[in-house]
Amino acid sequence: MNKTYNLWTSGCQMNISDSQRVGSELEKLGYRYIDSHREADVVVINTCVVRQSAEDRATGFIWWLKPLKKDNPHKIFALMGCLVGVKGNDQLKKTFPHIDVLMPPSNPMPLINYILNKEEAWLASKSIEKRYALQDGDLILPLHEQYNLIATHVPIVYGCSYMCSYCVIPYRRGIERSRPVDEIVFEVRSLVKQGVKEVTLLGQIVDRYGYDISDEVRLADLLQKVHDIDGLERIRFLTSHPNYMTDAILHAVAYLPKVCQHIEIPIQSGDDEILKQMRRNYTADDYRRLIHRIREYLPNSNIATDVIVGFPGETVEQFQRTIDVLESLKMDVCHVAMYSPRPNTVSAKTMPDDVPAKEKKRRLDVVNQLQQEIVAEINKGYEGQTVEVLVEEKHNGKWKGRTRTNKLVFFEDEHDFKGQLVKVRIEWAGPWSMRGLVCPSEL
Ligand code: SF4
C-alpha cells in the first residue's frame, strides 16, 4: 500500500510552487496525495508570515494538528516556509514539539532525508530508494488535481536582497540567488513532457534574474531560451520591480509570441515621502513614466500593481496620492494590503504603527471599491471580442481558462478542451471573470 501525504499551503505563488516541489519529491518516494490532514502519513505545513494575520493562521493550524500526533505517533509533521526561515529556528522546535522536521523555504530535502532514514525498511521493501535516485533532478508533477497540470510556476530567483523597510522576505528567504539557466530549461522541458502548457517564472524581483550570476545572463535571455522549448505555449513572469524593468525585457515580451503581455509591478504607494520611508527608490512620477513606457511597448497588456495602505505616518493626503495614481493609470489589478509590522524589519523597529486599524480598513475598502470600478470598465471592452483562452480545467460544469492578459474566462461546451488553446467570443464581462462562447471554427 502507498503511504500518503497532505499539503497545507498559505501565502504567495512562491509557496504554492515550493509545495508542488515537496509533493514532487514525495511522489518520487512512492507517496500519494490525500485530501485529509487526519489520514495522511505526512503533513507538510507551508507557512507565510508576510502579515501578522497569515502568521496567526499558520500557528493556529499547527496547534490544531497536535492531537493528531497523539492518535498516531508515526505521523510525520514537516514545517516549511517563512515561519522557519533560511536559518532554521530552534525556538520553533521548543514551541511546537509535535513537529518532526523544519524545512527552509524552497528546500524539501530535510523532509526527504528524514523519511529516507526513518522509513528505510518500508522504502527498501518497495525498491523505492533506487527509483528515487533514478529520477533525482526531474520535477515530477504530483498526481493530484490541486496541481493544475496545464499552467504551473517555476522559481527562477530565490530570496531577495532589496530590503524594503517593511518587508520580512529577505530575513526569511535569504539573499537573492538565481538558478542556473540550464536547470530552469531542463525543469520546464520536464514539465512540458508531463502536459504543462504554460509556465510562470517566479522571483521576488524577477527582472533581477542573473544579476548574481554574470553580466551575460538576464531575464530577457532566459525568456528566449524557455521560449525555444517545443510544446510550451505560454510564458509569464512575476513579480517585477519598477527599477529593473529594462527595455530588453519589454522587447522580449513584445516580440516573443509565447510570452504573455502581463506585467505585475507594484507601486506600493503614490506618495514620494512614503516611498522613501519604504526604501523603494523611485518616485510616483518615475512609476507613471514606467507604466507609459510599458504601454508603448505593449499596448494591449494587463498591468497589475500592489499597494500598502496605512504605512507608518501615512496621512489622509498621502493616501489620496495613491488614489490619484490608481485613478489616472487605471491598472488591470491592484492587490491591496493593510500595513502590518513584521519582526526585524526597519519599519517595525523605527516607525510607530500609528494609523489606527479602522482607518487602515477604510483605506483598503476605498482602494478596492475604486479598483472594482476601473477593472469593470476595462473588462467591458472585451465584450464582443474574440480572445485566445488556454483551458485549464472544468469547474462547476464550465470550462475555465485564461486569456493571454490573464483574464479569467468561463464557457460551456461538451467537447474536451482541457489543455487546448481555444478561440472564445466574450459575451459578458464582469470585474472578476468573463463568459463566452467557443468560436464555431474550433468545434
Ligand atoms: S523587493 Fe522589497 S517587497 Fe519585494 S521581496 Fe524584496 S524586500 Fe520584499
Among the candidates 73, 103, 135, a domain finishes at: 135
Q: Could you tell me the residue range of the domain that residue 120 belongs to? A: 4-135
298 shares a domain with 411 = no
Q: How far is the centre of ligand 1, averaged over its atoms, from the C-alpha of 337 (Å)?
A: 14
Across the chain, what does the average pLDDT equal?
Answer: 91
Q: How confident is the model at residue 144 (pLDDT cuts 50, 70, 90)?
A: low
To test the pocket of ligand 1, the residue of 51, 161, 167, 280 to mutate (highest count of ligand atoms within 8 Å of its CB) is 167
Same domain as 90, residue 205: no
pLDDT above 60: residue 129? no
User: Measuring CA to CA, how many Å separate 442 from each of 85, 353, 411, 439?
Assistant: 49, 56, 13, 6
pLDDT mean over 125-151: 58
- Same structural domain, 13 and 127: yes
Are 227 and 275 contained in the same domain? yes
Q: What is the pLDDT of residues 213-255, one digit of tens each?
A: 988 899 999 999 999 999 999 999 999 999 999 999 999 999 9
The residue among 377, 411, 429 that closes a domain is 377
- Looking at the structure, do residues 83 and 166 belong to the same domain, yes or no? no
Considering its fold, how many domains does the chain have in total? 3
72 CA from centroid of ligand 1 (Å): 40
Q: What percent of the chain has pLDDT over 90?
A: 74
83 in any annotated domain? yes
* Residues 186 and 318 grouped into a single domain: yes
pLDDT at 345: 95
Question: Does residue 107 sit in the same domain as residue 216?
Answer: no
Domain holding 111: CATH number?
A: 3.40.50.12160
To test the pocket of ligand 1, the residue of 51, 204, 212 to mutate (highest count of ligand atoms within 8 Å of its CB) is 204
Least confident range of 105-114, 121-130, 160-169, 411-420: 121-130
* Same domain membership, residue 213 and residue 117: no
pLDDT digits (tens, 9 = 90+) for 396-443: 899 999 999 999 999 999 999 999 999 999 999 999 999 999 987 766
Give the CATH number for residue 311: 3.80.30.20
Query: Is there a domain that residue 142 lies in?
Result: no
- Domain-located, residue 146: no
Which protein residues are within 6 Å of ligand 1, measured from CB?
160, 162-164, 167, 169-170, 204-205, 241
Residue 361 in domain: yes
- Give the closest residue to 283 by CA, choosing from 294, 291, 272: 272
User: Which of 135, 168, 195 is the last residue before a domain boundary?
Assistant: 135
Q: What is the distance in A from the centroid of ligand 1 to the CA of 205?
A: 7
The answer to whether position 143 is within a domain reads no
pLDDT of residue 441: 76
The tens digit of pLDDT for each residue in 148-158 reads 579 999 999 99
Q: Specify the CATH number for the domain of residue 407.
A: 2.40.50.140
Q: Residues 315, 405: one domain?
A: no
Same domain, 320 and 199: yes
Are 350 and 317 members of one domain? yes
Among protein residues, the one whose CA lies closest to atom 8 of ligand 1: 167
Residue 318 lies in a domain: yes
Residue 141 falls inside a structural domain: no
Whether 243 and 219 map to the same domain: the answer is yes
The protein residue whose alpha carbon is closest to atom 4 in ligand 1 is: 204
Is 145 domain-assigned? no
* pLDDT tens sequence across 6-41: 999 998 889 988 998 899 889 888 888 998 999 999
Q: 70 vs 353, which has greater pLDDT?
A: 353
